[in-house]
């Protein structure tokens, strides 16, 4: 089969949602255009901006970092090492290799250094699943590093965003649907955030990595097995397989409608700076992360005292 665009080279990938068989070069251009168009359409950032790309070592975020560098943006990768053994070490090694291979600089923070302990230690001491702290901690540290840059971008894909819209639809959660948008403006204490991969699927990021020789961490988070978001993502893929392109249209129509209506995020509830770290919070006194730290220290002291007795 010949490439549908150039009609000369052999098609190396078939994109079922669009009925397109493409050669390697035309596929790479296709993905680049998708990203460029999302950045322009939603006015995410410009070439003069310094962009921090949150990376996990997985295919989506590494593909994004590589893509943005290829589009001549001023990019730096950011990895928060949560201390999950051995996943974090393996992911970090992939990132260090990637950084060297493609000449892209990367910042690495260790959670036990910038916070108080690794994620598994926090879960163990607090006697709760570590995953219940993961999102809060990541958002906090991505934001804190992001304040040194013009914008923080994440590798959320078409699959992620469509699944999250699906989950919100199932609950008719208008509040979340109201906030779902691929770019959020900077606000006092919050970095500007954007998701340039919203119209690129995970199959496409995997193929992009393969064609560009990007070796990524494939195993995903060992703590997140069985999360309900994974179930919805799989179901959406099944629907997309039966009705090709439906996932793309589902998300695109939703976001285009919001964009045309002039998206305005809901008024944030009254925010004030955390008494300890200055991070904006709706809580009185301490922000969520400083509260986790305080409880962790109290629990850890309790454990130490019990052991002494």
Position 108 contacts Zn ion (CB under 5 A): no
Residue nearer to Zn ion on the CB measure, 278 or 302: 278
Among 3, 55, 67, 236, binds Zn ion (CB under 5 A): 3
Position 290 contacts Zn ion (CB under 5 A): yes
Residue nearer to Zn ion on the CB measure, 6 or 297: 6
Position 274 contacts Zn ion (CB under 5 A): yes
Residues in contact with Zn ion, total (CB under 5 A)? 12
Binding to Zn ion by CB under 5 A, coded x per residue (else -) over 191-230, reads ----------------------------------------
Give burial (CB, 10 Å; 0-12/13-18/19+) of 108: middle
Position 6 contacts Zn ion (CB under 5 A): yes
Whole-number Å distance between alpha carbons of 17 and 189? 40
Q: How far is the CB of 285 from Zn ion (least distance, A)?
A: 9
Query: Does residue 86 have a cis peptide bond before it, meaning omega lies within 30 degrees of 0?
Result: yes
Residue nearer to Zn ion on the CB measure, 43 or 294: 294
Q: How far is the CB of 143 from Zn ion (least distance, A)?
A: 11
Among 287, 292, 293, 296, binds Zn ion (CB under 5 A): 287
Residue nearer to Zn ion on the CB measure, 73 or 279: 279
Residue nearer to Zn ion on the CB measure, 51 or 287: 287
Among 42, 140, 166, 279, binds Zn ion (CB under 5 A): 279
Among 184, 277, 299, 300, binds Zn ion (CB under 5 A): 277
Q: How far is the CB of 140 from Zn ion (least distance, A)?
A: 8
DSSP state, residue 2: B
Residue nearer to Zn ion on the CB measure, 235 or 294: 294
DSSP state, residue 51: E
Position 26 contacts Zn ion (CB under 5 A): yes
Residue nearer to Zn ion on the CB measure, 100 or 294: 294
Whole-number Å distance between alpha carbons of 214 and 67? 11
Instruction: Say which residues have a Cβ less than 8 Å from residue 12's Cβ, sequence separation at least 6.
Output: 22, 23, 24, 27, 211
Residue nearer to Zn ion on the CB measure, 77 or 146: 146
Among 9, 49, 92, 203, binds Zn ion (CB under 5 A): 9
Residues in touch with Zn ion (CB under 5 A): 3, 5-6, 9, 23, 26, 274, 276-277, 279, 287, 290
């Amino acid at each position: 089969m010949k490439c549908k665009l150039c009609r000369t080279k052999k098609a190396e990938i078939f994109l079922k949602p669009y009925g397109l068989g493409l050669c390697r070069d035309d596929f790479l251009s296709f993905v680049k255009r998708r990203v460029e168009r999302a950045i322009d359409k939603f006015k995410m950032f410009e070439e003069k901006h310094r962009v921090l790309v949150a990376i996990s070592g997985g295919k989506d975020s590494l593909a994004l970092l590589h893509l943005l560098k290829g589009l001549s943006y001023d990019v730096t990768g950011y990895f928060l090492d949560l201390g999950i053994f051995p996943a974090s070490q393996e992911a970090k090694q992939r990132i260090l290799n990637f950084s060297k291979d493609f000449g892209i600089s990367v910042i690495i923070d260790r959670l036990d250094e910038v916070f108080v302990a690794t994620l598994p230690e926090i879960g163990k001491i607090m006697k709760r699943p570590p995953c219940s702290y993961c999102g809060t901690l990541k958002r906090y540290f991505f934001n804190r590093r992001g304040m040194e840059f013009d914008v923080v971008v994440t590798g959320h894909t078409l699959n992620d965003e469509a699944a999250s819209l699906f989950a919100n639809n199932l609950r008719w959660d208008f509040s979340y649907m109201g906030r779902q948008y691929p770019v959020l403006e900077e606000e006092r204490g919050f970095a500007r955030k954007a998701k340039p991969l919203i119209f690129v699927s995970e199959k496409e990021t995997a193929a992009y990595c393969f064609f560009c020789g990007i070796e990524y961490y494939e195993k995903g988070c060992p703590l997140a097995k069985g999360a309900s978001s994974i179930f919805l993502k799989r179901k959406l893929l099944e629907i997309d397989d039966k009705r090709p392109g439906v996932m793309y249209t589902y998300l695109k129509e939703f976001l285009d409608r919001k964009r045309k209506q002039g998206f305005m995020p809901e008024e944030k509830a009254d925010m004030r700076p955390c008494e300890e770290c200055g991070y904006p919070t709706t809580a009185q006194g301490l922000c969520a992360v400083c509260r986790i730290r305080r409880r962790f220290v109290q629990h850890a002291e309790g454990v130490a005292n019990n052991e002494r007795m």
